[in-house]
Amino acid sequence: MREDGVDEQRLASGGLVGTFMESRPSLLRYLILRGASADEADDILQEVYLKLSIDGIGPVAEPRAYLYRMATNYFLGLRRTAGRRTRREEDWVEAHSGEEREVDEQPSAETHLIAREQLAILQRVLDGLPDRTRVIFRRFRVDGEPQRQIADDIGISVSAVEKHLARAYEAISAAKLRLDGDRSDPRHLRGERGRHGI
């Protein structure tokens, strides 16, 4: 019997599915604290359960940590899918709306184009980073994983993770300085057009 009262033999016979059943209430609370609704959390845990049941994953050295990672991955996937769905719906409404439109508060096409160019440049900067630095940066800034988790997964110290992040931030800052120096303010461009009567 472990100190938390879970029978080792029962866990061994049930594998990850048994550990999942024991951990389900705490996994549910964890997902809700991360921002999932109760229904979303239930759906995510159902997906995790199906994956465990069908794929027969195991044995795993740290089953609880593995389950939390699975739940987090499904949660992040759900968020990305919801974001894409919202953008598709907004694009569809915009494309199919009538002639009469309200005043558009969105950036001008010029501003949008500049932002896209800058994003492409920053993406090239990130792609030019060493693989480990790029992976660490994405996991920390995009996926929102804690530095300790990343360090443990990769097998390096937290200070090494911080050094990789600092390298990524330096590359991005240098690119941003170049971008700020190379581009003109869109308002300035509009002023120039007006002055030349174009």
Q: Phi and psi of 55, rounded to 5°?
A: -80, -15
| Low-confidence spans in the chain with pLDDT less than 50 | 1-13, 184-198
In this prediction, residue 151 carries a pLDDT of: 93
In this prediction, residue 22 carries a pLDDT of: 92
- Predicted TM-score (pTM) of the model is 0.39
pLDDT in tens, 111-123: 777 778 877 887 8
Q: What is the DSSP letter of 93?
A: H
In this prediction, residue 186 carries a pLDDT of: 46
In this prediction, residue 130 carries a pLDDT of: 92
In this prediction, residue 11 carries a pLDDT of: 41
In this prediction, residue 104 carries a pLDDT of: 60
In this prediction, residue 154 carries a pLDDT of: 92
For Cα atoms 60, 63, 69, give the angle at the middle one, nearest 5 degrees: 105
In this prediction, residue 103 carries a pLDDT of: 56
Q: Phi and psi of 10, rounded to 5°?
A: -65, -40
In this prediction, residue 182 carries a pLDDT of: 58
Q: Report d(CA 80, CA 149) in Å as an integer.
A: 21
